[in-house]
Amino acid sequence: MLSLQEHSEIPPPIKGLQRQRTADFVPSHLISIRELPMEFISSLLQSADEMRLMVQFRGGGNESLKNKVLASVFYEPSTRTSCSFQAAMQRLGGSVICINEDHSSVKKGESLADTIRTMASYCDVIVLRHPIKGSAQIASMNSSSKPVINAGDGAGEHPTQALLDLYTISAELGYIGNSVGGPKMVVTLLGDLKFGRTVHSLALLLSRFPGIQLIYVAPEGLEMPSEIIQEIANSSSVEQVQRKSLEEVIGFTDVLYVTRIQKERFNNEEDYNKVMGSYCVDIQLMKMAKERMIVMHPLPRLSEISPEVDADPRAAYFRFEFTL
C-alpha cells in the first residue's frame, strides 16, 4: 500500500481523529449525520485518503466490491451525486443498476415503499434521493432489507455531501476546528440555508468538532431553520452567529460555503424572483478575504459565484469532485 507521506499533496489524517477498525461501528444505514459515530467518521475519512491515492497514483481501482450491486434510485435530477456513486462502485469492481422517476413504475403510480422493496431484491445497497424530507428514513425502516444511503431527502439532509465537505476542508486547510484556547475556525454558510440540505448536514457535522464558529448569512426568509440552530446549541459548544451580509464577515472567514437558491423548493415563481440574485461572490469580494481560506460550493452553481473566481487558488469547489 502506498504511504500517504510519500505524496505531499495528499493530506495528513485529520487532527484529533485516530484510525480504528471500521467494522466495529458501521451503521446499518447512512441516513443522517446525527447517527454517525465519530469513530466511523474518522475511519471513513482515512479510507478516503487511500481511495484517492488509488485513483490518482494507481490509475484505477480494485476488486473489493466484485459481484456486488448498487441500486441508484433517484427521484430528483442529479449529476455529481449520482455519477460519483456509480463511478465509485465501478472503480471497486461492483456494478450499478439505475432507475429514475421518469423511467420506472413510479410513472404508473407505484409507491416509494414498493419500489424500494423491489430494488432490495436485486442489489446489495440502495442509494436514494427523494424530494420528500424523511423519505430515506422511512425507506430504511419500513421497506428495505438492504442498507440505504441517503443521497438527499428534500430539504432534510445530505450526509454524504457533508462527509465530502469535511474531507475537503481537512485536505485544503490541514485541520478541522482548533484546540481549546486557539483561534476558532470560522465557517461561513451563505445562501439558501432554509431548504439547503447540504448546509443542514454540514452544520450538524461541524458542530461535533471543537474550535468551530458557524456564521449564517442568508436572504430574508431563507435563514437556517431554528430547530437546527437550537439542536446545535443544545448538543455542542460551537458558537453560532447570524449576519445580514457577507461583507461583514468575509475578512475573517476560513471556509466560505456557498449554496444556490433552490427554485424547485419554492411554491411559486414570484417568491423565488424576490431573492434570486441577492448575493454573488466575485473578484472584488475575494479581495476582502484572507489569503489562506477556501471557497466551497456543493454545486450546481448558478449566479452566486462569478465564473471569474474559478481561477482563484482559494476556489476549491471543483477540486474534490468525488464521493466518500
The rounded average pLDDT for each run of 10 residues, N- to C-terminus, in the chain (324 residues) is: 31 44 69 92 89 79 92 92 93 92 81 92 96 93 89 93 95 84 90 94 95 95 95 94 96 96 78 79 96 95 95 92 46
How much is the pTM? 0.87
Residue 275: how many other CB atoms lie within 10 Å: 17
One-letter amino acid of 245 = S
The set of catalytic residues is 80-81, 108, 129, 158
Residue 307: how many other CB atoms lie within 10 Å: 9
Q: Which residues does residue 126 pair with via DSSP β-bridges, in sequence order?
A: 71, 148
Residue 25's pLDDT is what?
Answer: 66
* Residue 137 near residue 116, CB atoms below 8 Å: no
> Which of helix, strand or coil describes residue 146?
coil
Give every CB contact of residue 49 below 8 A, 6+ residues apart in sequence.
Answer: 4, 10, 11, 13
Specify the pairing of strand 212-217 against strand 239-243: parallel
Q: Which three cell numbers stand for residue 193?
A: 440555508
One-letter amino acid of 273 = N
- The Cα–Cα gap between 32 and 323 comes to 16
Strands in the chain per DSSP E:
69-74, 95-100, 125-130, 148-153, 185-190, 212-217, 239-243, 255-258, 294-296
Note the residue count of the chain: 324
Residue 263's pLDDT is what?
Answer: 74
Handedness of CA 304, 308, 310, 313 (dihedral sign): negative
Residue 16's pLDDT is what?
Answer: 41
Where helices occur in the chain by DSSP H, the ranges are 38-58, 80-91, 112-120, 135-138, 159-173, 197-206, 226-235, 269-275, 283-286
- The Cα–Cα gap between 140 and 145 comes to 8
Residue 181's pLDDT is what?
Answer: 65
Residue 8's pLDDT is what?
Answer: 32
Residue 185's pLDDT is what?
Answer: 96
